[in-house]
Amino acid sequence: MTTEVLTVQPQAPALEALRRAAAILQRGGLVAFPTETVYGLGANALDADACARIFAAKGRPAHNPIIVHVADAASVLPLVAAWPEQAERLAQRFWPGPLTLVLPRSDRVPSIVTAGGPTVAVRVPAHPVALALLRESSLPIAAPSANRSMQLSPTTAEHVVQSLNGRIDLILDGGPATGGLESTVLDLSRQPPVLLRPGLVTVAELESIIGAVVLPMHASAPTAAPLPSPGMLPRHYAPRTPLIAIEGNATDEATRRRAAGQRVACVRFGPSSADALPVERQVDLPGEPAGSAARLYAVLHELDALGLDAILVELPPATQEWLAVRDRLRRAAAR
Ligand code: TXA
Ligand code: MG
């Protein structure tokens, strides 16, 4: 299949492009579109065959459920069997935005979307193109990140082309995804709620609205199969080049590898105190989580394309505000 790319204004996407994208979704096709976190690969969430095409295009294992995107909190109600007070309060505070809520599913959600499980993940994205597409299509849109399974999430339409060209119908190019990291995933089907994936909405922000949230390793066993959140598998979101995560300074590692004839890059966070490293490429990201998150995947995509022997990353501090960035780096480093 030929993948069409339509460029749209991020703030005011043209109606013609939205209509074309909506028509593709309505007939069961696949459309990649920007959200405020990363690009998503969308299909009609109520059409099991369309959702099966997502799994095929990505090479995604059937046991990994998909997030359903909706235009507003009211549109979640037909998809869930319960809408607890906690969900209402979080939705009022963080939607539209990078927070995904896992809730008991209703019968209307095809089981392929939930990987056969009893829950469904839902969120209202904050990107004008995503919201306009949801409204124009009048559909809930199932959308994982728009990359082949196990690859880095895309933050630009170009990344989507590199990963999925020829496998999907349309890409709406609305410029870079500004958030840069996937949404926070919170499981409200268990009490206390469990943080399945850290993201741009922090634990502190969640706890300020609903009280204690626990991390997966501290949660009691989930009541039902399948995997509680396959996105929490150790290896995920990875570049092809080996990524080496280092606590502290990378100078020794860089020196050792250079002596062994390797070509490496290094990524650091915050103002670099040390001198330039003995590496092919050095990238200094901002010493602040949101700014770093916004650029992290774009930098990793770029370094990955250089075909180096390794990407060294000096991990940012092990504090809660850096939880999401450290989480993605640890996964990218897992072999
Ligand atoms: O920011 C994001 O969340 C992006 C944009 C496109 O919205 N989407 C995204 O989707 O990152 P994906 O499929 O790459 O990651 C979804 C994560 C996976 O870890 C998946 O296992 C988990 O959410 N998930 C989805 N449905 C779930 C459910 N019912 N229960 C538990 N985890 C679920
Ligand atoms: Mg993904």
User: In which element (H, E) is residue 94 found?
Assistant: helix 85-94
Q: What's the whole-model pTM score?
A: 0.94
The 10s digit of each residue's pLDDT in 209-247 is 999 999 876 666 544 444 555 545 555 567 889 999 999
Q: What is the mean pLDDT of the chain?
A: 93
Q: ω before 230 within 30° of 0 (cis)?
A: no
Confidence category of residue 271, pLDDT binned at 50, 70, 90: confident
Beta bridge partners of 123: 69
- Dump pLDDT digits (tens) for 104-137: 999 999 999 999 999 999 999 999 999 999 999 9
Summarize the chain as % helix, strand, coil (round to 5): 35, 20, 45
Dihedral sign of CA atoms 9, 167, 199, 85 in order: positive
Whose tokens are 């995933």? That residue is: 185
Query: Is residue 280 within 8 Å of residue 257, measured between CB atoms?
Result: no
Question: So what's the pLDDT on residue 216?
Answer: 75
- Kindly state the tokens that stand for 37: 């976190």
d(CA 300, CA 312): 11
Mean pLDDT calculated for residue range 252-281: 89
Query: What percentage of the chain carries pLDDT values higher than 90?
Result: 88
Model pLDDT, residue 20 = 98
* Atom 15 (ligand 1) nearest CA: 144
169 lines ligand 1 (CB under 6 A): no
Residues in CB range of 233: below 8 A, 6 or more apart: 227
Which ligand 1 atom is the nearest neighbour of the CA of 189?
Answer: 30
Closest residue by CA, ligand 1 atom 19: 231
Residue 24 backbone phi and psi in degrees, to 5: -65, -45
Q: Which of 23, 29, 31 is nearest to 5 (CA)?
A: 31
Give Cα 291 to chain centroid, integer Å.
Answer: 16
pLDDT at residue number 223: 44
The average pLDDT across 143-150 equals 96
Is the backbone of residue 105 left (phi > 0), alpha (psi -120 to 50) or beta?
beta
Q: CA dist 95 to 23, 103, 209, 310, Å?
A: 26, 16, 13, 38
What number does the ligand 1 atom closest to the CA of 153 have? 14
Best CA proximity match to 90, nearest among 123, 43, 113, 47: 123
Q: What is the atom index within ligand 1 of the atom nearest the CA of 41?
A: 6
